[in-house]
Structure formats: C-alpha cells, structure tokens
Amino acid sequence: MGLAATRSVALLGVRGHLVDVEVHVAQGLPAMVITGLADTALGEARDRVRAALVNSGCPWPSRRITVNLAPADLPKHGSGYDLAIAAGILLASGALPARAVTSLKGLVLLGELTLDGRVRGVRGVLPAVLAARGCGARRVVVAEATGSEARLVPGVEVISVGSLAALLAWAGGGSLEGTVADGGAGAPWGVGCALGTGGTSDRGRPEGALPGTAVSGPTDRSASPMRVDLADVRGQPVGRAALEIAAAGGHHLLLIGPPGAGKTMLAERLPGILPDLERAAALETTAVHSVAGLLEPGAPLVTRPPFQDPHHSASRAAVIGGGTGFPRPGALSLAHHGVLLLDEAPEFKVDVLEALRQPLESGEVVIARAAGTARYPARFQLVLAANPCPCGLAAGADDRCRCSPQARRRYLARLSGPLLDRVDLQVDLPAVSRFDLADGSSSESSAAVAERVAEARRRTASRAARTGAGRFRANAEVPGHLLRQHWPLGSAADPAHELLRRGLLTARGVDRVLRVAWTLADLAGRARPSAEDVRVAAAYRLAGARS
Ligand SMILES: Nc1ncnc2c1ncn2[C@@H]1O[C@H](COP(=O)(O)OP(=O)(O)O)[C@@H](O)[C@H]1O
Ligand SMILES: [Mg+2]
Ligand SMILES: [Zn+2]
C-alpha cells in the first residue's frame, strides 16, 4: 500500500503543461476517486482504467484508491491520462517487481486505454512531448499509433506501446518487439484496431486505426497534397500572374469574377506552387494538426503548406476555433503556414469575417475560457473569392444581371474595409471564353511556376539578410518601417506617393503597394523595383476597389 506518482501532459491550445498524477492506495472500503478532473471523459477514466487493468491480468487492489491530477486549476480534457493513472495505481499498490518500478518512475505517459487493455493514441502528442522535454523529461510512453509523431521531437526517448501489457513487459525488462496484446481473450469488440500503424491509406487514417474519440473530424487535405495542377487552368493570364505574385511574396489575394471563371480552381492551386515548409514551420503546423487529431500515423510531419477552405455556412468555431469543452483549433489555425480560402467570401457570416481581423494582425487565435486561455497560431495566406454581385452575372459584357446597384454594392461591402485593407492583390477575372476552354494546348504547370516562386523567395531572403532587415521568408511579412528604412526606393516610389496625395491610397496602402512591387522585382530578377513595378502593384491593389 502506498503512494506513487506518474506524469502526463495537459494541453491549452498548442501549449502543453506537465501534470502530476498522484495515486494513493489505502485501507478502506474499495473505491476509486479521481480529483482534479475537468470533464466527463476524465470521469469515465475510472471505469476504463479498472477494466483495462483487470483485462490485462493485473490485480485490482480492493482498497481505497485516490487519484489526484495536479495542478488542480489546470483544465484537463480528454482521455489521455488513462495510461498514467493505470501505471500509478500499479506502482502505488506494490504489484510490480522492483525492475518495473524503476523503469516506470519519472515517465511521462500519454494514452487512452480501451476496456480490454489496448492503448489508443490521443490528440496533441507532438505538443505534449515538446512540453515534456521542456520540463526535463527524457522518456515518454505513447500509443503505437502516435509513436512516429512523438519521435518528431529530438532528444526524447519514445516508448510506443500497443497495450498496457506491452508496457508492463517492457518495464519488466522485456523488449517491445512482439509485445503485442492479444486484446484480451474473448473481447467482443474489434481486436487489434489500435495495433500497428502499417497500412496507411492515401488519404486519412487506416480504417479503425484510432477508434473512438482519439481521431475524428474532417480528412486532412494538407497532409496529402492535393493533386491539382495549374496546367488544368485555361486562359486567365491575369489570375495566373496574380497567383504567382501572391505565392512569391506571401500576399493575401482577392479574386472577383462571375461563376465558372475559375476562381476556386485558381485558389486551390496556390498551395501547390508554394515552397516546402521549413523545419520549424513544419513542426508548428504539425502541432496544430495534432491537437485537431488530423495527422496520418505513418507520416505525421506536415511538410507542405496546408490548405483549408471552410464552407461559408461553417460555424464560427469551425472557422476561427473554440467550441464547447476543449477549445479546438479552427480552419484559421489548421491553415497555419498555409492557405486559407474563403470561397464565396461575401456569403460568410459577418461575425466570422470580423473575427478574421485580429488573427490577420497578430498571427494567432486567442480563445478565452473561464478555465484558461488557449492560443493557436494562425499565420496563413488568405485567399478571398467572390462573385461580383449576388447573382454573379454582373461582370464584363453580361447584361443578364438583375441585381440593383445597391444590392451589388452591399454584396462586396460585406467584405469590410479593414479586411480588404489587408489584401494586397485584388483581381477581376473575366468569364473564360469558349475559345480558351477549347484550346488544346496545355498551360504552364505548377512545377514550373513553383520554381520561379522559389527563386523569388530566395532573392527576398538574401536581400533581407544582406540589408540587415531581419529574417523574412516573404515580402508580405516585412513590417512597414523596416521596408522604408532598409529598402528605400527613391523616385521609383513616386507613383504610390502620387496615389497617396490624391487620397486613393492610405499610408498603409503605400507600404502594401511597395511590398508587392518588391515581389514583382524579385520575380523578374531585378535588383530593385522600377516605377513601372510600383504602378503595376498599385493597379493590383486598386482593382477590386472600383466594384
Ligand atoms: N480557366 C479555366 N480553365 C479550365 N477550366 C475552367 C476554367 N474556369 C472554369 N473552369 C471549369 O469550370 C469549373 C468551375 O470553375 P470554378 O473554379 O469553380 O469557378 P468559380 O469558382 O469562379 O465559380 C471548373 O471545375 C472547370 O471545370
Ligand atoms: Mg467557386
Ligand atoms: Zn447580379
């Protein structure tokens, strides 16, 4: 009988906090009490842990068991504490041989238990292991299904187990090879679901890989790059050019045009011409996707820019983040270091559009709760697509539009000034002509465009390093004062200043025009933008404004 402690991790947003799991087994009426829990899933831990222990052949102490998860004021959600609680009970009840006691001491354990003693993966393993390492932990135990995700963190030994029995066998000195749970003799439910991570399908997880709460929700389109190519897009030279500039400079983009012009088609092809994520960015993005339960077990690291296109009917929580209980990352955060497309943007609820402004400014979503504040990173490239009017026909020579002038104005005005103010590139797309669509010759491929984009970004980065402006991956990231201080343009900037004087651009607008001008120069391989580059950049900025 006695006292023991193991450790686990609680997540607040993508930040992990170490949790001490203290277990006391004492004389008294047989009972089990868990304190320091937040939600019902944790309350159910009691039943799961007992069933898992009994079905793994472990003795269940007929004593009074008290489990305390500390600190108590840290909100704790989900089922990930099961494994740490089970190990704590075994340690405290003195049921383990000395060697196993030594192995389990000081371990951080992350995993849900099934009633038959298998270990299921949980969300957020990457940020949890990062937090554990930050607190000095050198070893963590996770479910097999999340083993490769945990191993993305260097400097931590990862023990991945398929079952509680496998954990105990390892702790007792056995090897993990072949320590596969039999799933409990006669267990009526799908045995072997959580075992093994092989057989990963192209999209999403292998069937039944992480049953129950562990993984659910939309398929992660960012993990498996979309197989769409710019070669499929006919005509639209202005739209294609704008897409390339957006990719090269990281600029936000607005596409306006009639239905069928290819707005969605173009927007979906933006991630494909962006460079691979750098290691640090890849880990940040992976952490968000991990918390959302969207990683593929076989290849957990998100290395390509993610793409998110929430439907305009989606809830605020789905787009921005939040929801009841555990605050979830929304599409904004799942698009971190990637592309967020708001297709049919004026159809989105006004409060959703308004809620975009803060993350666009700060690069993160802050979800305040009584229990604590969750922060999710949200540094994405925004693409807005819109019809010119509610019926969509008010473009070019088309005169079938019956929308009143007020209705037209109101429609695009839904994209408020402060939001549009952050969109450097605004493009009017004409309807695709029948001639273009019938054209059999193929257009330039995404791979060819991506090469120019990468070259332009290399120029940006080396200029930033050379001039001491800082470390920037894209022109859109350079703050206005650094832009003017380090990369002065002299008289080439005159066209922008002229628009400022005439009240057509704000001071902030001038900075945005100059950033795009730098991107044009970087794409063309010019050392600095010409007055013509500035004029072209200003035209991109002002195009949408006349609608
Ligand atoms: N420029 C284009 N080149 C080739 N096909 C196009 C083009 N524009 C539209 N299409 C065809 O029309 C369909 C609808 O295009 P979409 O991108 O959804 O238009 P929008 O979003 O502007 O309404 C596409 O799936 C494609 O088959
Ligand atoms: Mg569309
Ligand atoms: Zn109309």
**Residue 403: CB atoms within 10 Å:** 18
What is the rounded distance in angstroms from the CA atom of residue 171 to the CA atom of residue 298?
A: 26
The ligand that comes nearest to the alpha carbon of residue 392 is 3
Ligand 1 atom nearest to 261, measured from its CA: 22
Sign of CA dihedral 22, 24, 25, 29: negative
Ligand 1 atom nearest to 236, measured from its CA: 1
Confidence at 398, pLDDT banded by 50, 70, 90:
low
Backbone angles phi, psi at 21, to 5 degrees: -105, 100
The ligand that comes nearest to the alpha carbon of residue 406 is 3
Q: Whose CA is closest to atom 26 on ligand 1?
A: 262
Q: Which tokens sit at 122?
A: 């949980």
462: part of which helix (H) or strand (E)? Answer: helix 446-466
What is the rounded distance in angstroms from the CA atom of residue 373 to the CA atom of residue 276?
A: 31
Ligand 1 atom nearest to 429, measured from its CA: 22
Ligand 1 atom nearest to 258, measured from its CA: 22
The residue-averaged pLDDT of 49-63 equals: 92
The residue-averaged pLDDT of 360-372 equals: 86
Amino acid at 335: A
The position carrying tokens 């989105």 is: 348
Measured from CB, residues less than 6 Å from any atom of ligand 1 are 233-236, 257, 259-265, 385, 432, 437
User: Residue 547 pLDDT more than 50?
Assistant: no
Residues 534, 536, 537, 543, Cα dihedral to 10°: 140
The residue-averaged pLDDT of 124-136 equals: 94
Residues 19, 113, 219, 206, Cα dihedral to 10°: 140
What is the rounded distance in angstroms from the CA atom of residue 311 to the CA atom of residue 327?
A: 20
Q: Which of 427, 458, 479 has its CA nearest to residue 523? A: 458
CA distances from 248 to 189, 278, 475, 493 (A): 52, 15, 8, 21
Instruction: Please tell me whether residue 272 adopts helix, strand or coil conformation.
Output: helix
Backbone angles phi, psi at 203, to 5 degrees: -115, 135
What is the rounded distance in angstroms from the CA atom of residue 164 to the CA atom of residue 50?
A: 12
Radius of gyration from C-alpha coordinates of the chain? 27
Ligand 1 atom nearest to 235, measured from its CA: 1
| Among the ranges given (271-275, 412-416, 494-498, 530-534), the one the predictor scored with the smallest mean pLDDT | 412-416
Mutate to test the pocket of ligand 1, among 226, 232, 240, 265 (most ligand atoms within 8 A of CB): 265
Q: pTM for the whole thing?
A: 0.85
The ligand that comes nearest to the alpha carbon of residue 404 is 3
pLDDT, residue 546, reads 42
The ligand that comes nearest to the alpha carbon of residue 390 is 3
Q: Which of 280, 18, 286 has its CA nearest to residue 149? A: 286
pLDDT, residue 472, reads 83
The residue-averaged pLDDT of 474-484 equals: 89
The residue-averaged pLDDT of 445-457 equals: 97
Ligand 1 atom nearest to 257, measured from its CA: 22
Q: List, for residues 254-271, the tens digit of each pLDDT value.
A: 999 888 899 999 999 999
Using an 8 Å Cβ cutoff, are 162 and 143 in contact?
yes
Q: 182 or 169: which carries more pLDDT confidence? A: 169
HEC per residue, 311-363: CCCCCHHHHHEECCCCCEECHHHHCCCCEEEECCHHHCCHHHHHHCHHHHHHC
State the distance from the centre of ligand 2 to the C-alpha of 308, rounded, in angstroms. 14
Q: Which tokens sit at 102?
A: 């030594």
The position carrying tokens 């187990």 is: 161
The CATH code for residues 230-444 is: 3.40.50.300
The residue-averaged pLDDT of 485-511 equals: 88
Confidence at 516, pLDDT banded by 50, 70, 90:
very high
What is the rounded distance in angstroms from the CA atom of residue 512 to the CA atom of residue 476?
A: 8
Q: Which tokens sit at 171?
A: 């702790």
Q: Left if phi > 0, otherwise alpha if psi is -120 to 50, otherwise beta: which for 319?
A: alpha
What is the rounded distance in angstroms from the CA atom of residue 120 to the CA atom of residue 142?
A: 9
What is the rounded distance in angstroms from the CA atom of residue 497 to the CA atom of residue 378?
A: 32
Q: Whose CA is closest to atom 6 on ligand 1?
A: 262
State the distance from the centre of ligand 3 to the C-alpha of 409, rounded, in angstroms. 10
**pLDDT above 90: percentage of residues in the chain:** 57
The CATH code for residues 2-171 is: 3.30.230.10
pLDDT, residue 263, reads 95
State the distance from the centre of ligand 3 to the C-alpha of 235, rounded, in angstroms. 24
Q: Whose CA is closest to atom 9 on ligand 1?
A: 262
The position carrying tokens 């979800």 is: 367
User: Would you give the DSSP letter of residue 468?
Assistant: T
Using an 8 Å Cβ cutoff, are 228 and 447 in contact?
no
User: Residue 406 pLDDT more than 90?
Assistant: no
User: Residue 37 pLDDT more than 80?
Assistant: no
Q: Whose CA is closest to atom 18 on ligand 1?
A: 264
User: Residue 449 pLDDT more than 90?
Assistant: yes
pLDDT, residue 206, reads 32
The residue-averaged pLDDT of 311-336 equals: 92
Residues 278, 279, 283, 285, Cα dihedral to 10°: 10
Domain-wise residue ranges, the chain: 2-171, 230-444, 447-546
Q: Which tokens sit at 167?
A: 């954990």
State the distance from the centre of ligand 3 to the C-alpha of 352, rounded, in angstroms. 24
**Residue 301: CB atoms within 10 Å:** 19
Q: What secondary structure does DSSP assign to 393-452, as a single string? A: --STT-------HHHHHHHHHTS-HHHHTT--EEEEPPPPPHHHHH--SPPPPHHHHHHH
Confidence at 432, pLDDT banded by 50, 70, 90:
confident
State the distance from the centre of ligand 2 to the C-alpha of 222, rounded, in angstroms. 20
Pairing mode, strands 31-35 and 64-70: parallel
pLDDT, residue 395, reads 58
State the distance from the centre of ligand 1 to the C-alpha of 306, rounded, in angstroms. 22
State the distance from the centre of ligand 1 to the C-alpha of 233, rounded, in angstroms. 8
The ligand that comes nearest to the alpha carbon of residue 409 is 3
pLDDT, residue 186, reads 28
State the distance from the centre of ligand 3 to the C-alpha of 410, rounded, in angstroms. 12
pLDDT, residue 544, reads 55
**In sequence order, what are the residues at sequence separation of 6 or more whose Cβ sits closer than 8 angstroms to the Cβ of residue 279?**
none
